[in-house]
Amino acid sequence: MRRAALALAAALAIVVAIVAVANIATVATTRDQVRTVSSAADDLAGAPADAVLVLGASVYPDGTPSDILADRLEVAVDLYKAGAAKAIICSGDNRTSHYNESDAMKAYCVALGVPSEDVYVDHAGNTTYESLYRARNLFGADRIIVATQAYHLYRALFAANCLGMEAWGVATDKGAYDNQLHYSVREVAARTKDFFAALLNLPVPLEESPISLDDSGDLT
Protein backbone atom coordinates (compact mmCIF):
# COMPACT_ATOMS: atom_id res chain seq x y z
CA MET A 1 0.00 0.00 0.00
CA ARG A 2 2.82 2.38 0.94
CA ARG A 3 4.68 1.56 -2.27
CA ALA A 4 1.58 2.33 -4.35
CA ALA A 5 1.11 5.63 -2.53
CA LEU A 6 4.73 6.60 -3.18
CA ALA A 7 4.38 5.70 -6.86
CA LEU A 8 1.23 7.79 -7.13
CA ALA A 9 2.92 10.72 -5.40
CA ALA A 10 5.89 10.45 -7.75
CA ALA A 11 3.62 10.36 -10.80
CA LEU A 12 1.72 13.43 -9.59
CA ALA A 13 4.97 15.26 -8.96
CA ILE A 14 6.10 14.54 -12.53
CA VAL A 15 2.79 15.79 -13.93
CA VAL A 16 2.98 18.97 -11.85
CA ALA A 17 6.56 19.55 -13.02
CA ILE A 18 5.63 19.10 -16.68
CA VAL A 19 2.71 21.50 -16.37
CA ALA A 20 4.86 24.05 -14.55
CA VAL A 21 7.70 23.89 -17.09
CA ALA A 22 5.30 24.16 -20.05
CA ASN A 23 3.51 27.17 -18.59
CA ILE A 24 6.64 28.99 -17.45
CA ALA A 25 8.39 28.45 -20.78
CA THR A 26 5.35 29.55 -22.76
CA VAL A 27 4.99 32.83 -20.89
CA ALA A 28 8.70 33.59 -20.45
CA THR A 29 9.59 33.15 -24.12
CA THR A 30 6.75 35.30 -25.47
CA ARG A 31 6.37 38.08 -22.90
CA ASP A 32 8.39 40.59 -24.95
CA GLN A 33 6.11 40.13 -27.96
CA VAL A 34 3.01 41.34 -26.11
CA ARG A 35 1.64 44.87 -26.56
CA THR A 36 -1.14 46.60 -24.66
CA VAL A 37 -4.21 48.10 -26.31
CA SER A 38 -2.99 51.61 -25.53
CA SER A 39 0.41 51.16 -27.17
CA ALA A 40 -0.31 48.67 -29.95
CA ALA A 41 -1.42 51.03 -32.71
CA ASP A 42 1.70 53.19 -32.35
CA ASP A 43 4.10 50.29 -31.80
CA LEU A 44 2.85 48.19 -34.71
CA ALA A 45 1.61 50.74 -37.22
CA GLY A 46 4.77 50.52 -39.28
CA ALA A 47 4.88 46.76 -39.59
CA PRO A 48 2.66 46.06 -41.53
CA ALA A 49 1.81 42.46 -40.73
CA ASP A 50 0.21 40.16 -43.26
CA ALA A 51 -2.87 39.97 -41.04
CA VAL A 52 -4.34 40.39 -37.62
CA LEU A 53 -5.48 36.97 -36.47
CA VAL A 54 -8.53 37.13 -34.22
CA LEU A 55 -9.03 33.96 -32.20
CA GLY A 56 -12.63 32.89 -31.77
CA ALA A 57 -14.77 32.90 -28.65
CA SER A 58 -18.46 32.42 -27.96
CA VAL A 59 -21.17 33.97 -30.09
CA TYR A 60 -24.78 34.40 -28.98
CA PRO A 61 -27.61 32.70 -30.93
CA ASP A 62 -28.45 35.95 -32.73
CA GLY A 63 -24.88 36.21 -34.03
CA THR A 64 -23.75 38.88 -31.57
CA PRO A 65 -20.20 38.33 -30.29
CA SER A 66 -19.75 37.86 -26.56
CA ASP A 67 -17.99 40.68 -24.71
CA ILE A 68 -14.69 38.83 -24.74
CA LEU A 69 -14.89 38.30 -28.51
CA ALA A 70 -16.17 41.81 -29.27
CA ASP A 71 -13.10 43.26 -27.55
CA ARG A 72 -10.81 41.09 -29.68
CA LEU A 73 -12.56 42.17 -32.86
CA GLU A 74 -12.63 45.87 -31.99
CA VAL A 75 -8.90 45.88 -31.28
CA ALA A 76 -8.23 44.03 -34.55
CA VAL A 77 -10.24 46.64 -36.46
CA ASP A 78 -8.34 49.46 -34.76
CA LEU A 79 -5.04 47.84 -35.74
CA TYR A 80 -6.19 47.40 -39.33
CA LYS A 81 -7.27 51.03 -39.56
CA ALA A 82 -3.93 52.14 -38.05
CA GLY A 83 -2.11 50.35 -40.86
CA ALA A 84 -0.60 47.64 -38.65
CA ALA A 85 -1.90 44.87 -40.93
CA LYS A 86 -3.31 44.54 -44.42
CA ALA A 87 -6.05 42.06 -43.52
CA ILE A 88 -7.96 40.42 -40.68
CA ILE A 89 -8.35 36.66 -40.33
CA CYS A 90 -11.35 35.58 -38.25
CA SER A 91 -10.62 32.09 -36.99
CA GLY A 92 -13.43 30.35 -35.16
CA ASP A 93 -15.30 27.19 -34.30
CA ASN A 94 -17.96 26.11 -36.79
CA ARG A 95 -18.18 22.41 -36.09
CA THR A 96 -21.98 22.31 -36.17
CA SER A 97 -24.50 23.74 -38.61
CA HIS A 98 -26.16 25.70 -35.79
CA TYR A 99 -23.09 27.56 -34.54
CA ASN A 100 -20.82 29.79 -36.61
CA GLU A 101 -18.24 31.95 -34.88
CA SER A 102 -16.16 33.08 -37.85
CA ASP A 103 -19.00 34.42 -40.03
CA ALA A 104 -20.31 36.41 -37.07
CA MET A 105 -16.79 37.72 -36.48
CA LYS A 106 -16.45 38.87 -40.09
CA ALA A 107 -19.86 40.56 -40.01
CA TYR A 108 -18.82 42.48 -36.89
CA CYS A 109 -15.58 43.68 -38.51
CA VAL A 110 -17.42 44.80 -41.64
CA ALA A 111 -20.01 46.63 -39.53
CA LEU A 112 -17.11 48.52 -37.92
CA GLY A 113 -15.92 49.73 -41.31
CA VAL A 114 -13.42 47.16 -42.60
CA PRO A 115 -13.89 46.34 -46.31
CA SER A 116 -15.36 42.88 -46.66
CA GLU A 117 -12.64 41.82 -49.09
CA ASP A 118 -10.00 42.42 -46.40
CA VAL A 119 -11.65 40.13 -43.85
CA TYR A 120 -10.86 36.43 -44.25
CA VAL A 121 -12.80 33.63 -42.61
CA ASP A 122 -11.25 30.46 -41.23
CA HIS A 123 -14.11 28.10 -40.47
CA ALA A 124 -11.86 25.42 -38.95
CA GLY A 125 -10.00 27.31 -36.25
CA ASN A 126 -11.23 24.90 -33.61
CA THR A 127 -8.23 25.28 -31.30
CA THR A 128 -5.59 27.92 -30.78
CA TYR A 129 -2.82 25.78 -32.26
CA GLU A 130 -4.97 24.92 -35.28
CA SER A 131 -5.73 28.61 -35.85
CA LEU A 132 -2.04 29.50 -35.92
CA TYR A 133 -1.12 26.49 -38.02
CA ARG A 134 -3.80 27.32 -40.56
CA ALA A 135 -2.87 31.02 -40.65
CA ARG A 136 0.66 29.97 -41.57
CA ASN A 137 -0.03 27.04 -43.89
CA LEU A 138 -3.42 27.83 -45.40
CA PHE A 139 -3.33 31.62 -45.66
CA GLY A 140 0.45 31.93 -46.00
CA ALA A 141 0.81 34.50 -43.23
CA ASP A 142 4.46 34.90 -42.23
CA ARG A 143 4.04 38.10 -40.18
CA ILE A 144 1.07 38.05 -37.84
CA ILE A 145 -0.51 40.06 -35.05
CA VAL A 146 -2.61 37.97 -32.68
CA ALA A 147 -5.57 39.66 -30.99
CA THR A 148 -6.87 38.00 -27.84
CA GLN A 149 -6.93 38.49 -24.07
CA ALA A 150 -3.64 38.40 -22.14
CA TYR A 151 -4.26 35.05 -20.44
CA HIS A 152 -4.63 33.42 -23.86
CA LEU A 153 -2.03 35.38 -25.79
CA TYR A 154 1.16 33.68 -24.63
CA ARG A 155 0.03 30.28 -25.87
CA ALA A 156 -0.86 31.66 -29.29
CA LEU A 157 2.47 33.46 -29.63
CA PHE A 158 4.40 30.36 -28.57
CA ALA A 159 2.68 28.40 -31.32
CA ALA A 160 3.42 31.13 -33.85
CA ASN A 161 7.10 31.16 -32.89
CA CYS A 162 7.42 27.39 -33.19
CA LEU A 163 5.74 27.53 -36.60
CA GLY A 164 8.38 29.99 -37.82
CA MET A 165 6.18 33.07 -37.93
CA GLU A 166 7.19 36.61 -37.01
CA ALA A 167 4.53 37.41 -34.45
CA TRP A 168 3.30 40.10 -32.11
CA GLY A 169 0.38 39.93 -29.71
CA VAL A 170 -2.05 42.54 -28.49
CA ALA A 171 -3.75 41.92 -25.17
CA THR A 172 -7.33 42.94 -25.87
CA ASP A 173 -8.48 43.16 -22.25
CA LYS A 174 -10.77 46.18 -21.85
CA GLY A 175 -12.14 45.25 -18.44
CA ALA A 176 -13.12 42.34 -16.24
CA TYR A 177 -14.92 39.37 -17.79
CA ASP A 178 -17.40 36.93 -16.32
CA ASN A 179 -15.86 33.52 -15.53
CA GLN A 180 -12.30 34.85 -15.79
CA LEU A 181 -11.06 32.53 -13.05
CA HIS A 182 -12.44 29.56 -14.98
CA TYR A 183 -10.68 30.72 -18.17
CA SER A 184 -7.37 31.21 -16.37
CA VAL A 185 -7.45 27.81 -14.69
CA ARG A 186 -8.40 26.06 -17.92
CA GLU A 187 -5.57 27.88 -19.69
CA VAL A 188 -2.97 26.12 -17.54
CA ALA A 189 -3.94 22.77 -19.06
CA ALA A 190 -4.37 24.24 -22.54
CA ARG A 191 -0.90 25.77 -22.47
CA THR A 192 0.57 22.41 -21.55
CA LYS A 193 -1.18 20.65 -24.43
CA ASP A 194 -0.28 23.28 -27.02
CA PHE A 195 3.30 23.57 -25.72
CA PHE A 196 4.02 20.06 -26.94
CA ALA A 197 1.93 20.39 -30.12
CA ALA A 198 3.90 23.52 -31.05
CA LEU A 199 7.30 22.10 -30.13
CA LEU A 200 6.62 19.04 -32.28
CA ASN A 201 5.03 21.11 -35.09
CA LEU A 202 2.19 18.62 -35.17
CA PRO A 203 0.54 18.74 -38.60
CA VAL A 204 -3.07 19.84 -38.96
CA PRO A 205 -4.92 18.30 -41.93
CA LEU A 206 -5.84 20.97 -44.49
CA GLU A 207 -8.76 19.99 -46.68
CA GLU A 208 -8.90 23.32 -48.52
CA SER A 209 -6.59 24.68 -51.20
CA PRO A 210 -4.22 27.46 -50.07
CA ILE A 211 -5.83 30.90 -49.86
CA SER A 212 -3.79 33.95 -50.82
CA LEU A 213 -4.17 37.10 -48.74
CA ASP A 214 -3.77 38.95 -52.03
CA ASP A 215 -7.16 37.59 -53.13
CA SER A 216 -10.50 38.79 -51.80
CA GLY A 217 -11.56 37.67 -48.37
CA ASP A 218 -15.07 37.20 -49.79
CA LEU A 219 -13.80 34.00 -51.40
CA THR A 220 -13.38 32.37 -47.98
Q: Is the pTM of this model over 0.75?
A: yes
Q: For the segment 82-127, what is each residue's pLDDT rounded down to a tens digit? A: 999 999 999 988 776 677 899 999 999 999 999 999 999 999 988 9
Of 85, 92, 172, 184, nearest in space to 130 by CA: 92
Residues 6+ apart with CB under 8 A from 66: 57, 58, 59, 60
Question: Is the pLDDT reported for residue 47 higher than 70?
Answer: no
d(CA 167, CA 151): 17
Per-state percent for the chain, helix, strand, coil, to nearest 5: 50, 15, 30
Average pLDDT, the chain: 91
